[in-house]
Each structure stands twice: as C-alpha cells, then as structure tokens.
Chains A and B, each alone.
Chain A
Amino acid sequence: MSLNFHENHRLLYGAALATFVALTVVIAIVPARWVQEHTEPLSGSRALTEQERRGLAIYVAEGCLYCHTQQVRPLPVDKPFGRPSAPGDYARLRPQDVWRMTPALLGTERTGPDLSNVAARQPSDTWNYIHLYNPRAVVKGSVMQAYPWLFAIRETPGPGEVIVPVPPDYAPRGGKVVATQAAQDLVAYLLSLKQTPLPGGELPEQAAGAPSGAVTPGASVYAAHCASCHGSNGEGVPGVFPPMKGDPVVTAADPARHIHIVLFGLEHAAINGVNYAAEMPAHKDELSDGEIAAVVDHERTSWGNSAPTVTAADVARIRKQGGP
C-alpha cells in the first residue's frame, strides 16, 4: 500500500474528504450550534402570532427576502434602518414545517430597503395594502413586484371585508379592491417587524431614522415618520393620504390641532370634501416634544406653506391636556 497521493486513490480521496469534513465541523457546524444554543430572544420581544406566522410563510414563498434584507449592520450607512441587528433578534426563528428550513431572513441583497424595523417607518396598514397591490401607487419609481393576486375585486364588498382605497390611477375599472386573508396575514407580519430595544442600550437616536444627509431635524423626522404616506414633496397620495401642502390644519394660524393630530392620531378625516379612510397613527410614544415641534415646523414652513411655528413647550402643553 503506497502512501503516495498520486498512486493511492483511497488515501487521496480519503484525505480530501476527511479534511473537508473536519473543516466543516470547525467552521460551520460547531459555530452554528454554538450560536443556536447561546442566543436567547431579547427580553421585551414576543413570539409571532399565528396570523403573523402565516404572513411570514407568504413572505418566504413569494421570495420577498431576495430583495429585502432584515439585517442592520453596525455601520453609519445602515442607520436609517434601525439599530444594529443582534443575534437575539433571530433567536425565535425555527423551521416553518417538516418540509422547509428556518427562513433565511437576513438576506444578501438590498434591491429594496431593509425591513428589520419597517413597522416603525410604515405603521399604516392601509399604506401597506396599497403598496402590495401596486407599489407604484405610493412609491414613485419603485421596481417592486405588484401582488394583485393577494387581493380580490368585489362589486359590493361584504361586511367585515378589508377595503383597500387604491388611488384612482391604479384602481381597477369596476369594483372595489379587498384584501384577501393572505394579504392580511402578510401585512400583519410586516407590521410585526419592529425592533425590540436592546437591554441597556439606548434606542439609537431616531432608530426609525432619517437619512443621515437630511438637512434639518424636522426634515429628518418627516422623512422617517411621515413621508411614506404624505409624500416627501408633501403632496400625499390622492384620495388616500391627504397632502400637507396647503392643508387647512397645517396652515392654520393656531397650531394646536396640528400638534394634537401628530401626537394622538386621527380617524375618518374629511379634508376639503375628501373622505380619507386610512387611519393616521399616534406618535406620542415614539417622538419627543422636541421632535414633534421640529416636524410640525417643517410641515408648516415647507412646500409653500408659511404658518407660525411652534416650540417644544407648546407640544408639552397639548400632550399634557391629553387626547384624543
């Protein structure tokens, strides 16, 4: 028996395979197992609900993760997407069923934005439904796949059905767009994507965050919390999300109602004869008085608006009065 790799095929292939397997154990299996066993879910986080789990299954089946990462790196460039991801963020992930493995949510490509903390940026379910029905209805220039098959068209929607107020240019000719169970599950999952604060760590300054290049604090809060519905140009989405440009409340001399709406949200608004079905979420827990003052000022002085500005003290006073 020759101990020469060139002549002994058992030795050659045995050595090649054994080396590979040994390296595999060291570089893949042991670290994977170590990570799995030494990571706990973050305190304050919760497991997905049954509906959110179904939504995650759709997220995986439709291949959302090929274009959207859920992985915020500890780099300045990733700041707009939230705080850096921690191992605990993924600790609850398990195989979907006996056929499928743990979803690969971290992703490797960002054709679209990171979704780790998307629910903080896009908390409106209406926005998410419209965006899934046709992304271009709410984001000009988006190249995302539209998912009309997650919706149904009804001549007369039944009671309890989720009607999606698609802007006229993108709406079907006849009937109303309603969200199927699948769409509701997927949106429930997307709205669950909200980063849990790290224990002891500060919630990084406006995690939901603004592009670092934004000029004023107000513009940066607006970009992070308001622009997805009201538009970065303040023009909203016709018939769905009201414009800020020339809005009677935003341009009113008395800022009290403007501040109140930002703090406590609003339902069933009728503005200039248009009924807006989408609900405006409250921001009292997410934004400080200073941030709300900054964003209110930004809205009152941009896009041709020129209304009196406010201070953090004004916001604090209205916050104290309570609402809604």
Chain B
Amino acid sequence: MPVQRPLAVEKTHIDRIIDVDFHLTRLVYAYVACAAGWLVFGSLVGEYVGIHLAFPDLGVHPFLSFGRLRPIHTNVVLWGWSSLGIIGLALYVVPRTCQKGLASTRLAWASLWLLNAALLAGTVLLAAGVNNGGQEYREFIWPVMGTYALGLLLLAGNLYRTVARRSITEIYIANWYIVAAFLWTLALVVTAYLPWYQNGLGETVIQGYYMHQGVGMWFTPMVLGLTYYFLPKFLNKPIYSYSLGVLAFWTQLLFYTLIGAHHFVFSPIPWWLQTVAIIFSVGMFIPVVAGTGNFLLTMRGSRHALVRSYTVPFLLVGILFYFVGSGQGTVEAFRSLNPLWHFTNFTVAHSHMTMYGFVAFLIWGGIYGLLPRLTGQEPPHLLIGIHFWFALVGILIYGISLMIGGTEQGERWIAGAPFIDSVRLMASYWLWRAVSGSLMLAAHLIFAYNTWRMRPQALPAHTAEAAGESA
C-alpha cells in the first residue's frame, strides 16, 4: 500500500477537551467571532486604502476617500479586532489561572455589546467625517469612546473580582499583566479625553503620550500576559523564569509610560520631554529582552512541539516580532536616525510589524490553541497552515518593502530632491504593499472560516455525559 504523504508536516490533533462551563465557552467564542469579523472588515478597508495610494482616482465618494477610511482601518483593527481578541482570550485565562469562575458572565456579555456598539457608531461617524480632531487612535468622539470605555470598565471590574476571589494564594503572572492593562488603559482614556490641558501644543503632548501608551500599556501587556499562560500550556512545561516576567512587568510600566514624546522628536514640544522619551526608549531594551528571552528560553528544547503544533509557530513569530518591532521603535527615536525615518513609510512598516507581526500572531496562537480545546471543533490543519504562511509572508513583504521604501523616501528628502520625487519612488513599494495586503486579507478570510469551524455546537458530548452522571 502506498504511503499517504500529507501535503505538509502533519500536525498533532488536540488531545483533550477542557472541561469548562459551556456559558464561558460561548462567551469566549462570541468575543473571538466578533474580533474575526472586525478583522476582515478592518483589513478590507486597509487593503483598499493601500491600493488607493497606487490608484488615487479610485474613490470618488466621500465615504470611500483615503482621509476618512484611514482612521476607520486603524480604529477597527485596534479597538475591534485586536482588543476583542485579547479580551476574549483573557476571559478564559483569568478565571482559569485563578481556578475560579468568571465573576459575571452576564456583565461580560454586556461589555461585548457596549464595545461593538461603540465600534459600529464610531465607524459610521468616521465615514461621515465626524472625528475627534484627527488624533490618531482617538478619532472616536467622546460619546463613542465613553461607551467603549464603559465596556472596558465593566470588564476590568469583572476580571478584578475574579482575581480577588481566586482559589489559589498567588496571583499568576499572566494576571499581573492582564488586569493591570485594563486599569492602565482606563486611566489612559480618561487622560486623553479630558480637555483642560489640551489647547495648542498641550494637545500634542497628550497625543504623543496617548498614541504610545494605547499600544504599549494595552496591547503589549495583554498579549504578553496571555503568552505567559498559553506558551507554557501548549508546550506543557513551566515558564523559564517567573522573576524575569516580574522584572519585565515593572520595567515596562516605568519606562514605557515615559516615552510617548518620541513620536514628536524635533517638534516644538519641550526639548526635555523629547530627551526623556529618547532615553527611556533605550531603557525599553530591558523589558523587551527580559520578555523575549523568557519566552525563547521556555521554548528551548521544544523543537518537536514547534514542528508538530499548529499553534506554537504563531507564538514564535509573535515573540520574534516583539523583539524586532520594539528594537525598531527604539532606534527610530534616536536624534541621529529620526530625521531619516520620521514622517516616512518606515513608521508604517513599524506599526504593522508590531500590531500584526507581534500582537495579531500571538492572538491567533491563543485562539487556535484554545478554541478547539473548548469546543471540541478543530478547523482543517491545512487551512491553519495556509493562514499562517499567508500572514507571515504577507507581513514580511509588507514590512521589508516599506522599510526600504521609507528609507529611500527619507534619503531623497535629505538630498533636497523635489518632494514629488519621494511620492513617485514609493509607487513600486506601494504595489508590493498591495500584494502583501492581499495575502494578509486572504489569511484573514481563512481565519474567519476557521473560526466558524471552531464554533461551539450545542452542548458538547462530554458535558452532557457529566450532566448525566451527576443526575
């Protein structure tokens, strides 16, 4: 009999289904499914605006114009996809690591409705040209962001109470990051939306702080916290060093909070503020190396798991991009390199390599690792593989082409060439961007289908059995 050769390395199927409250499964799934929906929508918009640069006469309706769709893309992928994805996973991880049920499933559902309502309203308003003044990532006007923040507040209370009622003495490191991220983000949103210190350049000082912490005190600690749970779980071994995780937690808090102004190097905001930001950007190497090193040392000796698991490769890519993306961010802040890269497409490459290569890959790793074990439904391994490779090749082409293009842009400006030269030279790189964007969009459509395949189906058999036994 001929040997059946699989198309790719055969991946291990899930070995067991986690016995978890079906209501929690449905809740987690609802968050993930909404996240997937926003991802498809957000990346469709992203792909469209990317193509728009190559074919600028594409959109002749205000709703299809670059200036209105760009904030829709960023807000939907940040507050829709990434945020709902990490929250969904956190709603499983926090109760699990506290060995206690979620404080209130019902309130978590209410939060999901609030978050989605805010996203929907915000998107419609942005399309209609109603934004908060064009501040990046706080384009939602305050009633919309207030609704979103209310959703986050309810979740923060929910998760905090879950930790407070934990059945074990210690607070697992994942919960340090996750619950703290909620608290930091709430403080951040309040700071960003209070108007009393935001006239003139005051607005710029707050904007630098906000757009930076929005990423660094929300997405980063959330996905790091989740990875502190998922990585040891999927590898079936303990985290390399608990202390490194604690060190990274405090240094992240101390250093990251101070570096927002590095988005406005050489701007007229106070010089000392810029200098502090640059110095602590270098300091960021401590939490980044501690975090990355901790994860990589945990993975050491687990080649088998890497090859056989369809989840761990996502985590590995995410961890590596965490390191690369953070390093990029630090060097972009230097006064020597900032003039070359600031204002260019290099920063676009950076933001995608971090939010996509780092954050999105870690979320996918968590989702593919968790959902099948919750619902008993596995998507086809081949489709997970295609998702992985399309997304990875996509972000690599995207990042590399825009890094090269951005550098050339900066060089052209420094050489004193007419401005339009720097626009024309980007044409070929924008074409590569459109190609890579298509790969990523295809990956997201597959991910959405896979999510559908992982949906919970009524009561899973084992739950029914358990119910029968106790009867």
Contact = CB atoms under 8 A, between A and B. Distances in A.
A274 interface: no
Interface in B247-278: 253-254, 257-258, 260-261, 263-264, 266-270, 273, 276
Interface residues of A, number: 86
Interface in B409-448: 413-420, 423-424, 426
Contact of B199 (A93, A140, A147): A93
B420 A142 contact: yes
A102 B415 CA distance: 34
Given A29-B191, A110-B344, A144-B56, A211 B68 contact: no
A108 B143 CA distance: 26
Residue in B184, B191, B209, B416 whose Cβ sees the most chain A Cβ within 10 Å: B416
Nearest to B416: A213
Chain B interface extent, by class: 35 or more
Interface string A47-70: 000000000000011111111010
A145 B200 contact: no
Main SS of the interface on chain B?
helix
Interface stretch (B29-37, B162-170, B376-384): B162-170
A149 B62 contact: yes
Contact of A66 (B70, B170, B270, B426): B70
A223 B184 CA distance: 50
A232 B254 contact: no
B295 interface: no
Contact of B202 (A36, A69, A106, A213): A36
Interface stretch (B12-20, B39-47, B130-138, B353-361): B130-138
Contacts of A102: 133, 195, 198-200, 202-203
A9 B53 contact: no
A12 B67 contact: no
A64 B67 contact: yes
Nearest to B144: A99
A299 to B, nearest CB: 18
Contact of A101 (B135, B183, B266): B135
A31 B187 contact: no
Given A24-B209, A31-B273, A77-B413, A71 B202 contact: no
B238 interface: no
B390 interface: no
Contacts of B163: 9
A39 B263 contact: no
15 contacts: A17-B180, A28-B205, A28-B209, A29-B191, A32-B198, A61-B131, A62-B62, A62-B129, A73-B267, A87-B268, A90-B200, A93-B199, A95-B198, A211-B417, A223-B418
Given A106-B267, A211-B419, 14 more contacts: A17-B180, A20-B253, A21-B187, A32-B203, A33-B196, A35-B201, A36-B199, A36-B202, A62-B129, A63-B66, A66-B71, A107-B343, A146-B60, A213-B417
Interface of A: 5-7, 9, 12-13, 16-17, 19-21, 23-24, 27-29, 31-36, 39, 60-67, 69, 71, 73-77, 80, 84-87, 89-96, 99-113, 134-136, 139-149, 211-214, 223, 232
